[in-house]
Amino acid sequence: MNTPLQATGLPIAAVERDTGLAKDTLRVWERRYGFPQPARDANGERTYPLEQVDKLRLIRRLIDQGLRPAKIIGLDVQALVGMLDEIGKPRDGGDPERCAQFAAILKFVRLHLHEDLRRTLQQLLMKLGLQRFVSEVVAPLNRVVGDAWLRGELEVPEEHLYTEQIQNILRAAISAHAALRSGRPVVMLTTFPEEQHALGLLMVEATLTPEGACCVSLGTQTPLEDIRNAAASGRFDIVAVSFSSAYPARQAIDGLRTLRSGLPEQVSLWAGGAALQGAARKLPGITVFESIDDLPGALDAWRRLYCAAQA
């Protein structure tokens, strides 16, 4: 039979795929904490019962949220679900109509309704304009989708579909502003190595471009040295770096300090994203953004400071 009715359990490689926990990690947890405790098949190889895999998935999500294995690995499934709900809870009530729209969008994502998803987003973009679309739709939607992902309501392909569609919409909208591509300041956009999330960069670009800034994106994962070299060319006024919530805060802060010290004085360094929440005062000489809404203000401030004559 091709479908061996795997109600019995999953091999370790499948659990690694399903949970994102490395095989070595699964084995060392078993040794240290006594969980998971897989059965063994005829060949002495581990066979993980489905319930244990489900629990592992929950533990994985909580660890991603900053909790530590030893604290949670002994808890039962119900307690783990409770903790996840707790974390995902503080959603802003906001406009009820907008909330309903978000729910509808989430449904489209879950059901793979490309067409409906695209159309709905496009309509919101037309109604609100690019900047409000980013700050009032994309930013909160990212939270909604992130929470749904946390609860396990979305699979990888669904999350992917969402990201791609948003990116398409934003890219198209940005390119409509191409005529403005000669303004000041000239902003270099990028992320550090190991940071693959491009959505933040596009949100920044979509917010700054209509304000007349000239955004040049280097894409994701630019080595620090390449960023420095590009900035040394003198073509850029501002270097903007974005960090998703998955990026380790420590690494972001260290990297930004290093970059700042390697950058010419007159080049501003801007940084933002979930990983930098509350890290502003640890980064002197760097403009840290708590919210995407602060970008236009910072742009004005830059212009007053450096382009007094033109303003």
Cα-only R_g, the chain: 23
- When binding is defined by CB under 8 A, the residue of 71, 107, 112, 127 that contacts a copy of itself is 112
Picking from 202, 211, 166, the residue whose alpha carbon sits closest to that of residue 301 is: 211
- In DSSP notation, 53-108 reads HHHHHHHHHHHHTT--HHHHTTS-HHHHHHHHHHHH-------HHHHHHHHHHHHH
* Binding footprint of DNA on the chain (CB under 7 A): 11-13, 22-25, 27-29, 31-32, 43-46, 63, 66, 68-71, 248, 250-251, 281-282
Residues 47-86 vs a copy of itself: string with x where CB under 8 A?
----------------------------------------
Near a copy of itself in 233-292, by CB under 8 A: 254-255, 258
User: By CB under 8 A, which span of 122-130, 136-144, 217-225, 280-288 interacts with a copy of itself?
Assistant: 217-225
Q: Between 6 and 175, whose beta carbon lies closer to DNA?
A: 6
Minimum CB–partner distance for residue 99 and a copy of itself (Å):
28
Half-sphere exposure of 2 (CA within 13 A, CB side): 0
Does the protein bind a copy of itself through residue 229 (CB under 8 A)?
no
Least CB distance to DNA at residue 86 (A)? 17
Our CA angle for 247, 243, 217, nearest 5°, is 135
Residue 115: helix, strand or coil by DSSP? helix
Whichever of 114 and 304 has its CB closer to a copy of itself, that residue is 114
Question: How far apart are CB 50 and a copy of itself at their closest, in Å?
Answer: 15
Please tell me whether residue 191 binds a copy of itself under the rule CB under 8 A. no
Tokens 């909580």 belong to residue: 62
The DSSP call for residue 284 is T
Which of 214, 239, 100, 217 minimizes the C-alpha distance to 167?
217
- Counting contacts by CB under 8 A, is residue 43 touching a copy of itself? no
Helix (H, G, I), strand (E, B) or coil at 241: strand
Which positions touch a copy of itself (CB under 8 A)? 1-3, 112, 114-115, 157, 164, 168, 171, 175, 219-220, 223-225, 254-255, 258
